[in-house]
Amino acid sequence: MAAGPAFVPFTLPGERVLATGSGERRELVEVLEASPERTAPVCPHFGTCGGCALQHWDHAPYLAWKVERLAGTLARQQIDTEVLPPFAAQPGTRRRVALHARRGSREAARLGYKARKSWDLVDIAICPISDPAIAAAIPALKRLAAPLFEHPKSAPTLHVTATASGLDIDISGVERKSGGLSADARVQLADRAAEADFARVTLDGEVAYQARSPQVRLGPATVALPPGAFLQATAQAEAAMADFVAGQAAGAARIADLYCGVGTFTFRLAAIAPVHAADSAPDAIRALSAALATAPGLKGVTAEARDLVRRPVLAEELRKTDLAVFDPPRAGAAEQVAELARSGLARVIAVSCNPATFARDARTLIDAGFTLDRVLPVDQFLWSPHIELVGVFSR
């Protein structure tokens, strides 16, 4: 039988292992000769929970492997650039998690992450990656989810965000065809939210309970979050990226902040130069605009709700702009980048959660005369294969 590569989860380079299965994908049975880089996982759910894949690897080689993968993704697009030392998130800093709920008892649902290679649920007791406020609230979140199962097809997900004013929970996946939650279930939901002192609970964006407006600090501004708003996964990674972006933006005369969300970079950039911010989410733009009153002394911000796929900001609209920053979803920003490439911009800064689509978009800019000067790798999804980055272009 011809030998070929085999991919075995929970192994490390150089190890000798016993594995089962056939083809390229195998399952680990036993580690016969362990790597010196192997370490004890910190979570009792590791190996069954699908949330973390790399807790068994020492931090330094784990991080180096992530950066190497990023460099390899860029190389496939024939892109060579300076790769800066990476930012690495620490345990206990994830402020945004999605927890799946399944029917349990009347008092507490089962709650956790999906199991590896399965739709089954791993009912978690702890979560070492999560902000302590989220980790401590797991029992209360299980109680909160218990009234959500009136319809047999309900499969709720609790999108939990730790904010300065408490936990904000947006619940999706509750069956609506039967009329949604009954009045009794809504009362139970609100009572349990109050009991846990949550800031807000929403059902697909509709407020079911609110004690306080969930707020976060973004640079000099305080932003009241709309339900389900996007935030960077850790506040520390957000600060590292924002500081880097602001440093690379120094000297700009007018800035476009595209896919701006609720203003992750907007407020910091507006301390440098006037900013035009655009995003497809009207709620995010309203939150950003309202937060301007909390940050006096900025150079000026205009904001618009605009679908940057169907209606990208055109090269002609960027005539008086010398720097564009964009932070798109995983699909990248092909349509918007085509306009940036056509424009007369001197500098572009790209923030990306997907190295593959970043490399594709970077190639478009490079082919238009830009140089990718440097890349900052950002590891904020700890113990996963996922890595993010900030890229700085000039011409």
The residue whose two tokens read 């970079």 is 265
The Cα-based distances of 154 to 101, 109, 150, 176 in angstroms read 9, 12, 8, 9
pLDDT at 209: 98
Residue 190 tokens read as 């609100």
Residue 173 tokens read as 């996946």
88 in Cβ contact with 59 (< 8 Å): yes
Residue 318 sits at φ, ψ, to 5 deg, of: -100, 15
CATH number 3.40.50.150 given to 63-90+233-394: yes
pLDDT at 3: 62
DSSP codes of every residue in 88-101: EPPTT-B-EEEEEE
Catalytic residue among 43, 49, 260, 353: 353
pLDDT in tens, 214-235: 999 999 999 999 999 999 999 9
Catalytic-residue membership of 260: no
Interatomic CA distance for residues 79 and 362, integer angstroms: 8
Helix (H, G, I), strand (E, B) or coil at 277: strand
Q: Which residues pair with 352 in a beta bridge?
A: 389
Query: In terms of C-beta density within 10 A (0-12 exposed, 13-18 middle, 19 or more buried), how is residue 347 classed?
Result: buried
Residue 30 tokens read as 């036993």
CATH number 2.60.40.790 given to 96-215: no
Domain boundaries, the chain: 1-38, 63-90+233-394, 96-215
User: What is the model's pTM?
Assistant: 0.94
pLDDT at 77: 95
pLDDT at 117: 76
Interatomic CA distance for residues 321 and 339, integer angstroms: 13
Q: Which residues pair with 114 in a beta bridge?
A: 121
Residue ranges of the chain with per-residue pLDDT less than 70: 1-3
pLDDT at 253: 98
Q: Which residues of 193-209 are buried (b: 16+ CB within 10 A; e: fewer)?
A: beebebbbbbbeeeebb
pLDDT at 180: 82
pLDDT at 1: 40
